Amino acid sequence: MIKLLGLEYYKIRRKKIGIMMILFLVVEMLWAFMSISRSIASNPDHAVWESVFFSISSMNGLFMPIMSAVVVSRICDMEHKGSTWKMLAATNVGRGRLYAAKYICTNSLILYGIGVQALFIIVIGLTKDFPGTLPSDLLFRFVGGTLLTTLAVAALQQWISFAIKNQAFALGLGMLGGFIGMTAGLFPAAIRHLFIWSYYLDLSPVTYRYAESASVYIVQPESVGIVLGSFIMTLLFYFVGNFHVSRQEI
């Protein structure tokens, strides 16, 4: 497995996936910075750590599904274009092991992106001189919730990217997921929880409470049900996808 994982990193060295991820993150961070700055300008009480956690989490609903779709598509499309499935059939390397190596490779790259987001949260909090120290518990919940949701999203995207050669379908799914993630807050909880892309907002450590007099950011209590649901979806998408692709005709 270590050799397969190393081979995956070697194969993507010229795919410029890192540059693409940086561009996505730059756009998201600029958007978040402008949104937070406008919010603070209109209401100085919004100059709190909770504001940046909520802003990044809500924007992740749009950006992370699309970025995950692009990363997974770029990594999986190599096997379709290079017809490596046929070559693997003549070796001792099973498709299931390659499937696992690609999944690990994909999520390690996305984890790097989540780390950049966490660093941005710290920087913007210090730049805006938010009161109090960095809430490390909220930062930990942000990273954990974003990663857990992305594991499920990436598992679904990899299944589609391998099962269907035309990557337009996988990219279309990513854009659909981005739309659902962006509008997740408008749906009732019972409907919203059926879509994994909405979990970027559901697993956010902070939510925004609207009121007639004033709207405030509040710490969102942890939901064991949401965490468990995301974990189950991850296992379901990964193992069903692995089973399907491993037995798919070459």
Reading the chain (250 residues) residue by residue, the pLDDT tens digits are: 677 777 677 777 777 888 889 999 999 999 988 988 888 888 787 888 888 999 999 999 999 999 999 999 988 877 767 666 666 656 676 777 888 888 999 999 999 999 999 999 999 988 888 888 888 999 999 999 999 999 999 999 999 998 888 888 999 999 999 999 888 878 888 888 889 999 998 999 998 877 666 677 888 888 888 999 999 999 999 999 988 887 876 6
Residue 214, phi then psi, degrees to nearest 5: -160, 145
- Euclidean distance between CA atoms 151 and 111, whole angstroms: 10
* DSSP codes, 97-156: HHHHHHHHHHHHHHHHHHHHHHHHHHHHHHHTT-SSS--HHHHHHHHHHHHHHHHHHHHH
pTM summary value: 0.90
Say what the pLDDT of residue 90 is: 63
Say what the pLDDT of residue 100 is: 87
- Euclidean distance between CA atoms 145 and 200, whole angstroms: 7
Say what the pLDDT of residue 205 is: 92
Number of domains forming the structure of the chain = 1
- Euclidean distance between CA atoms 134 and 185, whole angstroms: 26
Range of the domain at 226: 2-246
Say what the pLDDT of residue 150 is: 95
